[in-house]
Amino acid sequence: MPDQRAAEQPPPAVVVDGLTKHYGDVHAVDGIDFAAQRGEVFGLLGHNGAGKTTTIRVLTGRTPPTGGRATVAGHDVVADREAARERLNLVFEDQNLYDRLTGRANLALFAELYDARPERVDELLRRVGIAHAADRKVKTYSTGMKQRLLLARALINDPEVLFLDEPTRGLDPTSARTLRAIVRELSAAGTTVVITTHDMAEADELCHRVAFLSEGRIIALDTPRELKLSLAARRGGRRARVLLDDRSEHEVALDDPADDRLRAWAAEGRVVTVHSDEPTLADVFVELAGRSLDEDGQEEQPPDEQPGRRPWWHWLVWPYKPGGRR
């Protein structure tokens, strides 16, 4: 019964309703609505100046909205700001660590501030993978280590909602992978994670749903999968290039029931590779925003330094079994 299911559904961890934030004539956030569920990883994506950071600043009580309303963990971010802040935490680019203190001392200070158990400090240092450097001064830490320490610090109060502003920017692939793994663990344990990123491949991999922001407005909001599928549909359906055992290449329509050549070739064991043309999230963004994220002054990285970024044509190796059926 739908009514009963609705009653059992926990309230969303983040609710944003007609939120605006104006700086003079600049409408940094211009009437946005969304809700993020418990355990959801929710991505805010957009060009420089789209309003991502401002949205997070309002939701974390760092700046008041001009209009509209938002709640975090059930608490209004304006009227009930302190209660909301007790249940959230954040990793922000402009945050500072105490450079002349050790990693452990940095965390211990925050543990005291939040009344956390003292054992929590070492637990978190282990969790983010910097226990070995716990007694080194933070000024000797690399960017990745500092980012890990900031994350540990943000977890000290077991937040119900964690806000991460560009958490993997400037990180080496290993640190970025560790951070993504922690986000997944947190999400599985019920923490809601709201993340801003310029990295479309990362958003695709990590986020349950993403909102594309442009000039302070949400221009699309859905799961990465749905966004990609709807672009494929607008382009006339998904297609694939197929390489057969006789080295001939064919283009097939995956969404056209009349085109069952791929199934037939597969049944005959003739397929060597299938080359899918599924659009990427970056393609969806370009279509909606009219330009790519690389066109807004971001420094483009060479392709081999773009972890997880998939080319437009992405090869799937079909299990090839010469002369037989699978």
Ligand X SMILES: Nc1ncnc2c1ncn2[C@@H]1O[C@H](COP(=O)(O)OP(=O)(O)OP(=O)(O)O)[C@@H](O)[C@H]1O
**Which residues would be at the binding site for ligand X (CB under 6 A)?**
23, 26, 28, 46, 48-54
Q: How far is the CB of 53 from ligand X (least distance, A)?
A: 3
Q: CB of 18 within 8 A of CB of 33?
A: yes
Tell me which DSSP letter residue 293 carries: G
Q: How far is the CB of 166 from ligand X (least distance, A)?
A: 7
Q: How far is the CB of 50 from ligand X (least distance, A)?
A: 4
Query: Would you say 47 or 238 has its CB closer to ligand X?
Result: 47
Structure tokens given for 221: 């909001």
Q: How far is the CB of 226 from ligand X (least distance, A)?
A: 23
Burial letters for 155-171: b for 16+ Cβ neighbours within 10 Å, e otherwise? Answer: bbbebbbbbbbbbbeeb
How far is 217 from 28, CA to CA, in rounded Å? 9
* Residues with Cβ within 8 Å of residue 266, at least 6 apart in sequence: 318, 326
Query: Would you say 141 or 212 has its CB closer to ligand X?
Result: 212
Structure tokens given for 18: 């007609």
Q: How far is the CB of 57 from ligand X (least distance, A)?
A: 7
Query: Would you say 51 or 144 has its CB closer to ligand X?
Result: 51
Query: Would you say 26 or 97 has its CB closer to ligand X?
Result: 26
Q: CB of 275 within 8 A of CB of 258?
A: no
Q: CB of 201 within 8 A of CB of 43?
A: no
How far is 194 from 284, CA to CA, in rounded Å? 20
Query: Would you say 50 or 154 has its CB closer to ligand X?
Result: 50
Structure tokens given for 213: 């922001």
Q: How far is the CB of 294 from ligand X (least distance, A)?
A: 13
Burial letters for 30-55: b for 16+ Cβ neighbours within 10 Å, e otherwise? Answer: bebebebebbbbbbbbbbebbbbbbb
Query: Would you say 90 or 232 has its CB closer to ligand X?
Result: 90
Q: How far is the CB of 88 from ligand X (least distance, A)?
A: 18
Structure tokens given for 318: 């079909």
Query: Would you say 51 or 167 has its CB closer to ligand X?
Result: 51
